[in-house]
Structures are given as structure tokens and as C-alpha cells.
Amino acid sequence: MQNSLSLNKNTRKPFLNKEIKTRIKLMRGIYLLALLPVLHTIIFKYGAMYGIIIAFKDYNPVAGILKSPWNGFEHFQFLFNTPSLWQLVRNSLRLSFLGLIFGFPSAVVFAILINELRNISYKKVVQTISYLPHFLSWVVIGAMVKMLLSTDKGPINMLIASLGWEKIPFLATPNIFIGTLVVSDIWKNMGWGSIVYLAALTSINQYLYDASDIDGATRFQKIRYINIPSLVPVMTILLILRIGSIMDLSFDQIFNLYNPLVYDVADIFDTYVYRIGLINMQYDYSTAIGLFKTLVGLILLLITNGIVRKVSDYALW
């Protein structure tokens, strides 16, 4: 019996074999860099989930989270009976789908156009300029948009007035404000969003282009039959992730651009939570609203992934 135990002990495989240990040692710098975002996710994403229980309590900041009394689903019942809920859902879904319809394809089209440029220097300049708005905060972008669209001395309205037309209050007219949000979001994120698609295009086998040249394919035919099919897996994954976060609109963008005149079309969950939670200090109710928004996003993610799994092989799981 002792011999068999010692034999099993000696033949047991180590948790980390020599090859893995060598790889970790050689790439320890990269693993240390990867450790930072992992810790950030654990602390600020998973650790913060402890606060979800506030949604089921009558939260008292003095008593703390654990000592505050439970109230069951009262906050959710109040939320579902609030007329503002359906306005928030409508606004969030409308803005998200408009951004999905116009913003998502814009990055793909831009990546294909950049890939077709043959002048390397010009290509780099265009890429750099297109990436720049992504690194500017919405505070800066919002100030620029307000300056450009101002009815007082805004260049766009001055041009409209010089043509003999009436000035347009872009940021005070509900329907026009929606278009302003969509266009400004495309301008800010289109270049940065094209990076993934450019990487996928550069990985296409050159033999496919050589074969298409022999067959006499035009550049448009190469885009249609080589580039776009090669982008489909990446597009599918990003589309699933985009729909999964469809309720997570850019709070910074809307907060820096909207005003009470457009609340009916621009007020979303995040801005409503900001007013209820931070301004009115109803922390428990605002947490319930945020939890409901997260559950809606999770359901949309599961539905989208299930549909993609049935019609293609590019689902997340």
C-alpha cells in the first residue's frame, strides 16, 4: 500500500510543467502589465457588486449597508409604476439602435476605405486624424459641438443664415438633437473603432488577392468577395457585445450636450440615475434603476448570442 502511494506521488504531474514555467519567466513583464487591468476589474467591477443589495433596502448612510432595513422589492414596484420608466426605456433603445444602425457600419466602411489607400504616408495621416477625437473627453467634444452649433455665433448657423435660411437650434430641438448625438458619436469613435477591422483586413492571405487579380476582379469585387467575408467573424462578435451593452449609452456625451428642453428624447437611465442618486441622494432607488438596466442588457445579450449561434458559427459561447 505504501509503495502504491509513493508511486502515485512520484508519478503525479506538477501543476505547472517546465515549459509553462519558462514561458511565464520570459513573459513576466507582460503578465505584470496584464495584472493591472485584471485587478481593476476585480476591485471596481466585481467588488462593487456588493453594493447591489442597497436596491433591496431602505438605505441609511449612517447605519451603513448591512444595518439598513430590508424592504424587499418596493423600489422595483415603485419603478415599474413610474411613468418615467417607459420614457427612459424608449429613449435608451432609440438612441442605442440609431447608434447601432449608423455608428456600427461606419467603422467598418471607414476601415475598408483606409485599407484601400495605397499612399502609405497619406494613410497614416488620415488614421492619426481619425483617432484623435477618441482621446478627447466628452467635456472637450461637447464644448466644441456647442460652439459649432450655437445659434449666436456658431459657424454652421452663420453659414445657414448667409444662405438666407433660418438658424436651426440644434441642441434645443428634440428631433434634431437626436441626430446631433448620433453624428457626434460617430465623429468621436469611428476612427478608433476601425482599428479592429483594419487588423482583420491586414491578416487576409495575400494569395486571395493574387488569385483575384488573375481572375480579373475589380477593387469593388475584392471588397465584396474577400474583405467583407473576412470581416464577418469580427463584426459578429463586436455586434453581440454592442447589443449586450445597448443600455449603456455614453453618459458623458448626453450629460454634456442635453438640457431640459430635450429631456423627453434624451433622458436615459444613466442621466436619470445621476439626478435621482447624486442630486436627490436616493441611493437605494437609483441602485434599483441601475440593476434593472443591467438585467435588460443581460437579457438582450443572451437573446442575441442565441440567435447568432443558430444562424452562424461565430457566437460567443
pLDDT given for residue 5 in this prediction: 46
Indicate the pTM of the whole model. 0.78
In a domain, 73, yes or no: no
**Residue 248: how many other CB atoms lie within 10 Å:** 16
**Residue 105: how many other CB atoms lie within 10 Å:** 12
In a domain, 101, yes or no: yes
Extract the C-alpha cell encoding 131: 483617432
- DSSP line for 95-140: HHHHIIIIIHHHHHHHHHHHHH---HHHHHHHHHHHHGGGGS-HHH
pLDDT band at 110 (very low <50, low <70, confident <90, very high): very high
Range of the domain at 216: 82-311
In a domain, 213, yes or no: yes
What percent of the chain shows pLDDT beyond 70?
Answer: 94
Query: With contact defined as beta carbons under 8 Å apart, do 179 and 101 qualify?
Result: no
pLDDT given for residue 144 in this prediction: 92
In a domain, 72, yes or no: no
In a domain, 70, yes or no: no
In a domain, 141, yes or no: yes
What's the number of domains the chain is made of?
Answer: 1
Tell me the pLDDT tens digit for each residue of 259-291. Answer: 888 888 888 888 888 888 888 888 888 889 888
Q: If you average pLDDT over residues 34-47, what whole number do you get?
A: 88
Tell me the pLDDT tens digit for each residue of 151-161. Answer: 888 899 999 98
**CB-based contacts of 220-227 (< 8 A; 24+ apart in sequence):** 223/112, 223/116, 227/112, 227/115, 227/201
Q: What angle do CA 84, 87, 90 make, to 5 degrees?
A: 150
In a domain, 68, yes or no: no
> What angle, 0 to 180 degrees and rounded to 10, lies between the N-to-C axes of helices 104-116 and 228-244?
150
Residue 112 to residue 119: CA distance in whole angstroms: 15
Burial of 254 (0-12, 13-18, 19+ CB in 10 A): buried
pLDDT given for residue 12 in this prediction: 54
pLDDT band at 7 (very low <50, low <70, confident <90, very high): very low
* Domain of residue 130, CATH code: 1.10.3720.10
Give the chain's radius of gyration (CA, Å): 26
Question: Which residue has better confidence, 178 or 243?
Answer: 178
pLDDT given for residue 236 in this prediction: 86
Q: Estimate to the nearest angstrom the gap between the alpha carbon of 35 and the chain centroid.
A: 23
